[in-house]
Amino acid sequence: MVVLNIQQIMEILPHRYPFLLVDRIEEIEEGTRVAGFKNVTINEPFFQGHFPGHPIMPGVLIIEAMAQVGGAYVSVIDDIAEGKVTYFVGIDKARFRKPVLPGDILRMELELVSKRRGIYQFIGIAYVGDTKVAEAELKATFADK
């Protein structure tokens, strides 16, 4: 079941092409978790240089996609007001297990592990099918633009 479609995500997140890296949110469990998806196509601009003849989604963009799913979650659950921007404050224990290729559907699952003094901490895992492709601990906060 789609909880947020791309139009709703664009109302929440400030990101736009080519940096909007989440296409839909399919699960939101208040206070615990969120799951979102990115359809990875050969038309992604980063594939031109990463790498010609052997396209692989950059790991840093997989992490960014997970962060955008987390940002959408916080915006919905905590009703973050318009005029705020999300800032990364930490990325820990990032691991990349398998390459993400054109044609893959990247499923990102994030679990909220803490929220203290305006800092949200998530554990994120990215999958293609049932295969874990990346994981990281992410920390972010919201501030005025």
Which residues carry out catalysis? 50
Q: How far is CA 71 from CA 15, 86, 102, in A?
A: 11, 7, 25
Among the listed residues 2, 49, 41, 1, the one whose alpha carbon sits nearest the alpha carbon of residue 21? 41
